[in-house]
Structure 1
Amino acid sequence: MNRRRGLFLVITGAICWGIGGAVSKKLFEQYAIDVNWLVTIRLLIAGFLLLSVQYCGKDSSQITGVWKNRKTALQLMIFGIIGMLAVQYTYMSSINHGNAAVATLLQYLAPVMIIIYLILRKHSVLTQRDLVTVSFALIGSFFLLTNGSVYQLSVPIPSIVWGILSALALAFYTLYAVPLLKQFDSLVIVGWAMIIGGFALSFFHPPWQMDFKSLTLEAYLYLVFVIIFGTMIAFWFYIESLQSLSPKESSLLGSVEPLSAVLTTVIWLKEPFGLFQWIGTACIIGMIFLLALNKKPASKYNEPHTNKKPIRVS
């Protein structure tokens, strides 16, 4: 049951994250919303809402308890800035310069980065499956970014750079969260991480510096979707899935995220997507599924952490 719950959480969160990226692109293009302001406001509001849910639950003492240990507090600060803020900012920047489909697919190179990291740290060994999946990732990325032409990129270079940085941030985010989740509920970790990230970015891009009167009702509805579903639900469910699944499994089973992002971008936003880009998409999604089918744990990072009861929200 715990595993099924984990599968439901990671897939639902991934769908929300993928669609949320396309909705964000709509806000950037149609309403000229600044990417920095959007990242700041979505982190602050979503983080506050998550901690509010935790406060209404049974163990509200964790909200302040996470700060009582100096080592844990430092880990949370690092996770909030280098993990949460970095994932949000790089992903949104990649969308802003390109589109949600490419940004999401580039971000999902993170599983390959996790495998490489585990091998280099000797927590895992290089297998034939790893070689095949890395090949899928490289071939998929080539087709995705060039659309089959070696003479010109089909995606702006800034979008590619931000997308690769987003993958690195997601790999760090996934691995670094594990020890924190052994001690505290996911709502506490994700909620505080969002507030830390949003607060840090507020020094450079204050959330109140926005012409709110220029936004229509439709724009506000898009903002609500991005904050609630594309941020709060997406990140909470992803981190919570680590209670039942390993970091590798959670990062891989989220393969519906790039699929939902591609479909939403092409069908709803009507972004052009070439034949070879579809082939590249298939390679990357195939790579993720191939890794997800591997049931045998390869390292200590592959073991799900179920030493504490799943969180109950009421």
Structure 2
Amino acid sequence: MMQTVQKRRTAGFLLVISGASLWGIGGTVSQYIFEIHHLPVEWLVAVRLLLSGLLLLTISLMLGNKEKVTGIWKQKKSAGAVVIFGLFGMLAVQYTYMASIESGNAAVATLLQYLAPVFILAYLLAVRHTYWNMRDAGAVLMGLAGTFLLLTNGELAGLSVPTEAVVWGLLSGVALAFYTLYAGPLLAAWGSMNVIGWAMTVGGAAVSFLHAPWNAAWGSWTWSMAGSVIFVVIFGTMIAFWFYLESLKYLKPQETSILGCLEPLAAILASVWWLHVPFGLYQSVGTCLILGMVIYLSLPQKQRAKPAPA
């Protein structure tokens, strides 16, 4: 019995580590696509979401989930929620993240997106679902200090990354916060693979109005470009999501969340080693602070009750 449990946990660890690493490397490959092949952000986001979403839905159908795949559209409430999640959650996260990569680099874009817990905490404090304590204050200070070092590399004179990349990256963090807070009821009712698959399809269809997936300069494509796009769609999106979601069957959510921090580490290592992106000492310290904040907030804590009204 113990051996079976250990095997399941090992499978869970392998899945989440693989999924998070593929996410991070996928971001770096996207940076390569923008820098070398100059593909538009809108086109890559449309293709990435549409193909990945349809592949996830196909896998779900093959696993015998037809009722949930189609049933989600038969209820007005769930259908409307999927559209909202697809546009303001999935599409918003993917577009702002890719725009930040195009303006700056994958390492910084991924780390700025990982400030989402700070925005979630700010929202919960604003609507009084929670209240301020030293733990929250420490997490926010870690996040702010890490962001400062990441963006300035310790130099007060100016940013070490373009302002546009910072703005898109922060918007990506806000979008991820909404994505996280809004998705809970949908995922519980219809299953993660079905909700994510439809959200990707809805988001991809919407951004297709800005740049149709079939509208590309196909004559100038090379094997390198095609291989990079295939990697981003198949491995950096569809398989990454699938592995991450599958790991939840074997591990606790907090364990999956903590191991998900391998995504920015993979993005940083791939960017520095492959694309030779400069990454200074202070930026490394800032990275550790941001990842430390995410792990800190992921650790279990005692349940806090709301303060009584005055």
Residue 180 (structure 2) aligned to one of 174, 177, 185: 174
Q: Residue 232 of structure 2 corresponds to which residue in structure 1?
A: 226
Name the structure 1 match of 2:148. Answer: 142
Matched, 1:83 2:105: no
| Equivalent in the alignment of 2:131 | 125
What is the distance in 2 between the residues matched to 1:119 and 1:129? 13
Q: Which residue of 2 aligns with 1:200?
A: 206
Q: Does 1:50 align with 2:50?
A: no
Identical aligned residues as a percent: 52
Amino acid corresponding to residue 266 of structure 1 in structure 2: V
SS state at 1:150 partner? coil
Cα RMSD, aligned residues only: 2.2
**In the superposition, relative to structure 1, how do residues 40 and 289 fare at CA in structure 2: closer, same or farther (>3 Å)?**
same
Q: What TM-score, normalized to structure 1?
A: 0.88
Matched, 1:270 2:279: no
Residue equivalent to 2:308: none
Asked which structure has the greater CA Rg, the reply is 2
Distance 1:297 1:278 in 2: 33
- Structure 1 residue 126, shift from structure 2 partner: 2.4
The corresponding residue for 1:306 is: none
1:34 aligned residue:
40
TM-score, L = length of structure 2: 0.89
Q: How far 1:208 sits from its partner (Å)?
A: 0.9
Aligned residues: 299
Check the 8 A contact 2:52/2:238 in 1, yes or no: yes
Deviations 1:226-246 (A, max 9, x none): 001211123344455667645
Matches within 5 A, 1:1-80: 9-80=15-86
Please give the per-residue CA displacement for 1:205-243, whole angstroms capped at 9, x wherever unaligned: 111110123221122111111001211123344455667
Alpha carbons 1:110, 1:251 under 8 Å: kept: no
CA distance in 1, matches of 2:9, 2:77: 30
Change in 2 beyond 3 A, CA 1:251/1:174: farther
| Cα distance change, pair 185–4 in 1 and its aligned pair in 2 (3 A) | farther
Contact 1:46 1:227 in 2 (8 A): yes
Tell me by how many angstroms 1:12 deviates.
3.1
CA deviation map 1:88-122 (0-9, x unaligned): 00000000000000000000001121222223333
Whether the 8 Å CA contact 2:19–2:240 is kept in 1: the answer is yes
Aligned to 1:280: 286
Structure 2 gap ranges (5+): 306-310
